[in-house]
Structure 1
């Protein structure tokens, strides 16, 4: 006899967990399936461990900065082993909190892999049982891509990187997206030799071109060895050495990490047994309320490939919860008003349209920019990095269409700006704001 639920959630990442807790809180019978650890990509092998590693890597530069202010600092060494142990302890703590909160809400946690037998029936792989529900929510996230070349499995994915207990001296990273750049900077800051292999001349191509241009310049200045217009042909291994055969030359390294994008995690769900449809990138097609073509099946988070950020998955879960309950007015989500950050050195914060987006949409716009050395680095002969601010706005209404901030604490600054952007931000709002002085971010309101 199969077990019946009101809702089955497949995937215990941030989005799936939020929906399950909310729905169980209304008295509905809810179970959540997870074949790995509860917490999902972000908590277990993504943004949380990455940010901890970024924090660790930044201390080296802070020690150097301290010397320019008169501090006498002795020799220091970093222990990768200690960092990994501390990271694992923190991830375990968060994992336990997620489990505790699910159980407290009344959600049944099933540690198993689920696949569709039909629109309302799920087969548990390990338990060899069938469970069913009136509605099923797919929140399986994404998985890292591997190149389709001989020897590709010699390299590891960004997910696997967080499980490494020790690192060799020379590390190669393939990719031009934010994960690749964040890894490159944090590893270089921890004094590893880093090679960055990119297919084009540019990086961060999904963002405004001013972002990629400046981040790449800082990567080279930092000492990251960049191999541009370089495509992988084959990977070979000889002892501890890895030979990366490319269209230009063979790059020798000790560790190869792929950060070449992620794909919706749908391959083992057997969605062909439902009416659910996928797009060209194999993401689940959904409407504004996250419902698929199958009226019994919904999908949230990275598996839909709308905007692949943890807070977005959580907000999609909340919108879906409101929709199913028929709550009016419902929460809404304008993906263009979602801020994002890149944790390179310096940090990048952005919200709204970039110039490439505006050109593609054939929108008229004007820009304001400023670039300057921050006060913090006044004592340094060779300035480490400049602050760059870019504001794109409609020339008629002067409504701000996009904002970019590159500099220290950019993530925190863009978060504050996101509140104003959400309400509709105009140049006059910036003009009328009295700046906090002396700060780097005051240039946002004195940029005119």
Structure 2
């Protein structure tokens, strides 16, 4: 499609939302010659950079040092008295986030994109209204407003809780914290605060955390969290939260004894950030959760309006939003039509230990009806044979018993995220178990287990066809 400026409009593209997906789309569209404006009402960089993946990963790093200090003794080191300074760390984290925010803005400006630091709403198929009252016309509008924390409006005492937004800006580290939820955010912050020395209680309505992940991975992480002293309360939900002299008292619906904490983090999910954007009035169809409904090209029910990232509630991961934004810009403004592939997406959970996974879980693989070979290994990482830490690593391969194709790779242990990025390439290319077997091992590493597992731990026969 031509990127030539259309004199009927103020800009060729107006992007609402300065997060990862919107910024990528804006920058690529501008490199194709489009006139682009981006409106961001908070801080450039979006959830991932400002109050998500990046600051979270910095917190994960901070939380790991206490075990590093303890492990050092097994290797002959004597480590003196240690302590953690929460305000000092938060200040360092904030400086890094500010630096990254500046880079996002600089890159957009260098590409010729105009940044509008205020809220924008959709005023029609080809118009947006800014908070200062101006109306900007655009040939295309891209919605990239991401998501926001879900809130249980019916919970008595919900005003005493914090979300994944506020957790990054607490004035002091809570000595006791209760976390509600069983997904990425809840699990990751449970590991972070436990590592920093807080007393952690993780509450989830299901029987295991990380719904949708491989069952062995879920079981393995819960066992490791129990070893770390994290109190796991499964099959429970809050009934009320009361503030008293000793802190916040959390009560439960299904009979678990109340728990007293200094902070209560609600990490019960996120929902598309579409409220008050004027989308429905402009004719854009939304789903039940408020998500923007789009086709494979990220186009909404209004031909001139597109949407990418978490606001569409497809696959809510930062790299996915970036790919969707890039594909949109290339297709609409660069004459290079392509779509983001949502299959076989590698992902990591920065729990402690870390999780990396790509492809199907064992349950998902069995649901395809194929014969399935399962290769599984659990072992103590080499480092801890000397440190003495009671921890285990899990590696698992799922292989189609007829085609030999690797259907899933699951790792739980140190550097799992790094491993799964590389394993994801092989799985995406359709690698077989024979391909893994013929690859030389890198020794001594934990990752070599991925290419040295020779005998299935068990086999599932092909499911019989329905009569």
User: What displacement does 1:28 show?
Assistant: 1.6
Residues 114-193 of structure 1 correspond to what in structure 2 (within 5 A)? Answer: 114-125=120-131, 127-147=132-152, 148-193=154-199
Alignment partner of 1:376 is 2:372:
no
2:426 paired residue number: 420
2:282 paired residue number: 274
Residues 36-75 of structure 1 correspond to what in structure 2 (within 5 A)? Answer: 36-75=42-81
The answer on whether the counterparts of 2:359 and 2:408 sit within 8 Å (CA) in structure 1 is yes
Structure 1: unaligned runs, 5 residues or longer: none
Alignment partner of 1:252 is 2:260:
yes
Structure 2: unaligned runs, 5 residues or longer: 1-7, 455-467
User: What displacement does 1:33 show?
Assistant: 0.7
The answer on whether the counterparts of 1:3 and 1:130 sit within 8 Å (CA) in structure 2 is no
The answer on whether the counterparts of 1:336 and 1:353 sit within 8 Å (CA) in structure 2 is no
User: What displacement does 1:434 show?
Assistant: 0.9
Alignment partner of 1:310 is 2:318:
yes
Gap change, CA 1:152 and 1:360, over 3 Å in 2: farther
- CA distance in 2 between counterparts of 1:177 and 1:222 reads 19
SS in 2 for 1:273: coil
SS in 2 for 1:434: coil
User: What displacement does 1:41 show?
Assistant: 0.2
Residue of 80, 92, 95 corresponding to 2:98: 92
Gap change, CA 1:360 and 1:146, over 3 Å in 2: farther
- CA distance in 2 between counterparts of 1:397 and 1:143 reads 42
2:344 paired residue number: 337
User: What displacement does 1:164 show?
Assistant: 1.3
The answer on whether the counterparts of 2:34 and 2:333 sit within 8 Å (CA) in structure 1 is no
User: What displacement does 1:334 show?
Assistant: 2.7
User: What displacement does 1:239 show?
Assistant: 4.1
Encode CA deviations 1:238-286: one digit per residue, 9 max, x unaligned: 2461111211232211110011110010011121112221222221111
The answer on whether the counterparts of 1:347 and 1:409 sit within 8 Å (CA) in structure 2 is yes
Residues 196-207 of structure 1 correspond to what in structure 2 (within 5 A)? Answer: 196-207=202-213
The answer on whether the counterparts of 2:291 and 2:311 sit within 8 Å (CA) in structure 1 is yes
2:5 paired residue number: none
SS in 2 for 1:35: coil
2:296 paired residue number: 288
2:461 paired residue number: none
Residue-pair matches, total: 444
SS in 1 for 2:314: coil
2:458 paired residue number: none
The answer on whether the counterparts of 2:246 and 2:260 sit within 8 Å (CA) in structure 1 is no
User: What displacement does 1:427 show?
Assistant: 0.5
Residue of 34, 39, 46 corresponding to 1:33: 39
Encode CA deviations 1:180-220: one digit per residue, 9 max, x unaligned: 11101111111111111111221001211111111111111
User: What displacement does 1:341 show?
Assistant: 0.5
- CA distance in 1 between counterparts of 2:174 and 2:57 reads 21
Normalised TM-score (structure 2):
0.92
Gap change, CA 1:293 and 1:364, over 3 Å in 2: farther
Encode CA deviations 1:355-387: one digit per residue, 9 max, x unaligned: 232344445432111111122111244x43212
User: What displacement does 1:420 show?
Assistant: 1.6
The answer on whether the counterparts of 1:336 and 1:351 sit within 8 Å (CA) in structure 2 is no
Instruction: Please identify, of 201-210 and 46-55, the stretch whose mean Cα deviation from structure 2 is larger.
Output: 201-210
Alignment partner of 1:320 is 2:320:
no
CA RMSD of aligned residues (A): 1.5
Alignment partner of 1:349 is 2:356:
yes
